[in-house]
Amino acid sequence: MSTVQTASILISDPDSSIRQEQGEILRADGWMVAETGGGEELFEAALERPALLLMAAELLGGDPEARLGELRERAGEGLRVVLTFDADLELDWEACSRAGVDEFVERHAPAWILRHRIRRLMPVEASAAEQAGSWMEPDVFAAKLRARLGTAAGDESQVAVLAAVLDIHGMDLGQLSSSAGKSLTQELGRRMRAAFEDGEDGGTLSGLLQGMRLARIEPGVVMMMIPGVRRVQDTARIGARLQERMAQPLEVDGKTRDPLVGLGVAAFPEDGQDASILMQNALTAARRARNEGTSLMIFHTEAMGRWAFERLTLERSLREAIVREELRVYYQPRVDAETRRILGMECLVRWQHPELGLVPPVQFIPLAEETGLIVPIGEWVLREACRQNQEWREKGLPEIAVSVNLSPVQFRVGDLVEVVNDALRESGLDQGGLELEVTESMLMNDPKKTVEILERLKGAGIHISIDDFGTGYSSLSYLKRFPIDALKIDRSFVMNVTTDPDDAAIATAIILMGHSLKLSVVAEGVETESQLEFLRVLQCNEIQGYLFSPPVPADRAEELLRAQKAGVQAA
């Protein structure tokens, strides 16, 4: 196996067997290969900025120059093009070369010919220069940035420009020997790439690495562009990691030094509509940061900086919350609508913050999901819930099930089934003592993978309910595909069930539909006797809400179970 060349080749051909054949040849040669048919799909794939396009000539249409121009706008001016053609195709060769086609190769040419042509166009050195993260000269960088702003304006993403100004004890880095200068920039490039890597966030940042480009502006001053940014905090997070890494001791001219790094951030469109203005603004912010005398990151726009800073601070303290054991599980009983006996307890996480007090989940779950912290948090809740329920059982309290909310991220990262099984095994709780709640939108997003995981959980004997039901768009036939046991009617419908005829109709429909699918139906957020009465008449199976009890700490939940055992009605 040859070493992997990271520059990418995009194969575009309407015939998938041809694409596959060519892909195999090139992958075996170590290239990173993507494949597409034609049309919109091709334009989209071009945005990934392949270094070379291997394309069926018939896809060029009547005006090769226009078509290739459009593709270069997306893929960048450096795009090399190799056309494949069938022997009988009548092709306007001249128009094609005018359009900048670099090579032609017959579609069914033997493997060695294809290989040879591609290698000639992309010698290993040249391909390395196209790699994400290799250095560009400032004007090439500016041109690439300009091209990228056009597409960003179209798809409403941001392009962030980060400038880093390095200060190594006031050394004039321009005076370094060329080999010392080279190894310094190599090291900086390595650190800049590493800022995108992190196992914990489920790869949310590593997706941005591919579009990343680096420029050496002058000795000790480097710039990075990150296209495709959807959220300011992604830039902020990369910046924070970059800063941490850049400030690590550096080997310069044989001596280890502690550098000072000023980081400046400017983002399109907020901080400038034009490549040179963005670069200037990032650089100004970086110089300002360097002049502060400690390693610092400054955003060109103050408002953005403040916002990003708050998010980063919160992210950091949430990370610590897990270690410092500041998370708590609260329990809210779910009761039988007829008998009002407690059948289960929903586990709802809280953050006991040293200064902010008890923080509700809506204030940190979204951040935890974005940063991937939901994975360790969710795992902790699962284990704590199982441990607690087993403790109650061992105390001889009424047997109930605890139900734990799952986040979509937990389906994507790590092995959820394994985590669940571990929690059960560790606590000694049997499967019937644990239930899981997923939301409708989770089923819609990646149905195939979700079904597979849910089926394994279900196979392990765990009940699954759909939370916040009614807020998504699932239809009856859609629901049938999922191995679920219960529907939880969203609180927003229950709230007005006795006053708003529309909500009453929706709640009624959900109960009937649930029963026809042999599912148990739970109403969330029941606050009044009249709501309970309405639901009871419709034979809604279970209710949960302030009417019976709000979410309470474990000791209080235990009292509720004790009262039930003693036969005292707690209603």
- For residues 265 and 278, the answer to whether their CB atoms sit within 8 Å is no
Minimum gap (Å) between residue 432 Cβ and ligand C2E: 20
Could you tell which of Mg ion, ligand C2E, none binds residue 23, using a CB distance below 5 to 8 A set by kind?
A: none
Stretch that binds Mg ion, among 47-55, 116-124, 185-193, 398-406 (CB under 5 A): 398-406
In this chain, which residue has its C-beta nearest to ligand C2E? 545
Task: Tell which positions 203-232 bind Mg ion, by CB under 5 A.
Answer: none
DSSP string, 91-136: --HHHHHHTT--EEEETT--HHHHHHHHHHHS-HHHHHHHSTT-EE
Minimum gap (Å) between residue 556 Cβ and Mg ion: 19
Counted residue by residue, the chain has a size of 571
Minimum gap (Å) between residue 91 Cβ and ligand C2E: 57
How many Å is the Cα radius of gyration of the chain?
29
Residue 279 vs 349, nearer CB to ligand C2E: 349
Measured CA to CA, the distance from residue 489 to residue 450 in angstroms comes to: 21
Residue 275 vs 365, nearer CB to ligand C2E: 365
Could you tell which of Mg ion, ligand C2E, none binds residue 525, using a CB distance below 5 to 8 A set by kind?
A: ligand C2E
Minimum gap (Å) between residue 524 Cβ and Mg ion: 5
Measured CA to CA, the distance from residue 263 to residue 432 in angstroms comes to: 53
Stretch that binds Mg ion, among 62-70, 186-194, 288-296, 432-440 (CB under 5 A): 432-440
List 127, 405, 410, 531, residue binding Mg ion (CB under 5 A): 405
Residue 142 vs 365, nearer CB to ligand C2E: 365
Residue 233 vs 405, nearer CB to Mg ion: 405
The two tokens of residue 166 are: 């390095």
| Angle CA 154–158–70, to nearest 5 | 35
Stretch that binds Mg ion, among 60-68, 87-95, 374-382, 461-469 (CB under 5 A): 461-469
The residue assigned the tokens 């596959």 is 20
Residue 304 vs 402, nearer CB to Mg ion: 402
Minimum gap (Å) between residue 322 Cβ and Mg ion: 21
- Residues in contact with ligand C2E by CB under 6 A are 332, 348-349, 360-362, 365, 378, 381, 405-407, 437, 467-468, 491, 524-527, 544-546, 551
Residue 130 vs 524, nearer CB to Mg ion: 524
The two tokens of residue 51 are: 């270094």
DSSP string, 210-236: TT-EEEEEETTEEEEEEEEE--HHHHH
The two tokens of residue 435 are: 């239930």
Task: Tell which positions 503-542 bind Mg ion, by CB under 5 A.
Answer: 524
Task: Tell which positions 236-255 bind Mg ion, by CB under 5 A.
Answer: none
Residue 13 vs 370, nearer CB to ligand C2E: 370
Minimum gap (Å) between residue 407 Cβ and Mg ion: 11
Residue 283 vs 401, nearer CB to ligand C2E: 401
Amino acid identity, residue 379? E
DSSP string, 294-350: S-EEEESSHHHHHHHHHHHHHHHHHHHHHHTT-EEEEEEEEEETTT--EEEEEEEEE
Sign of the alpha-carbon torsion through 60, 41, 268, 218: negative
Long-range residue pairs from 513-520, CB within 8 A, at least 24 positions apart, any chain: 513/476, 514/486, 514/487, 515/539, 516/476, 517/476, 517/479, 517/480, 519/484, 519/485, 519/486, 519/487, 520/465, 520/485, 520/486, 520/487
Could you tell which of Mg ion, ligand C2E, none binds residue 220, using a CB distance below 5 to 8 A set by kind?
A: none
Residue 276 vs 445, nearer CB to Mg ion: 445
Residue 435 makes contact with Mg ion by CB under 5 A? no
- For residues 54 and 38, the answer to whether their CB atoms sit within 8 Å is no
CB under 8 Å to 255, separation ≥6 — which residues? none
Minimum gap (Å) between residue 439 Cβ and ligand C2E: 7
Residue 410 makes contact with Mg ion by CB under 5 A? no
Residue 467 makes contact with Mg ion by CB under 5 A? yes
- Identify the three-state secondary structure at position 86: coil
Residue 468 makes contact with Mg ion by CB under 5 A? yes
- For residues 349 and 361, the answer to whether their CB atoms sit within 8 Å is yes
User: Which of these, 228, 131, 241, lies nearest to 186 by C-alpha position?
Assistant: 131
Minimum gap (Å) between residue 546 Cβ and ligand C2E: 4
Minimum gap (Å) between residue 380 Cβ and Mg ion: 17
Residue 267 vs 348, nearer CB to ligand C2E: 348
Which residue ranges make up the site for Mg ion (CB under 5 A)?
A: 405, 437, 467-468, 524
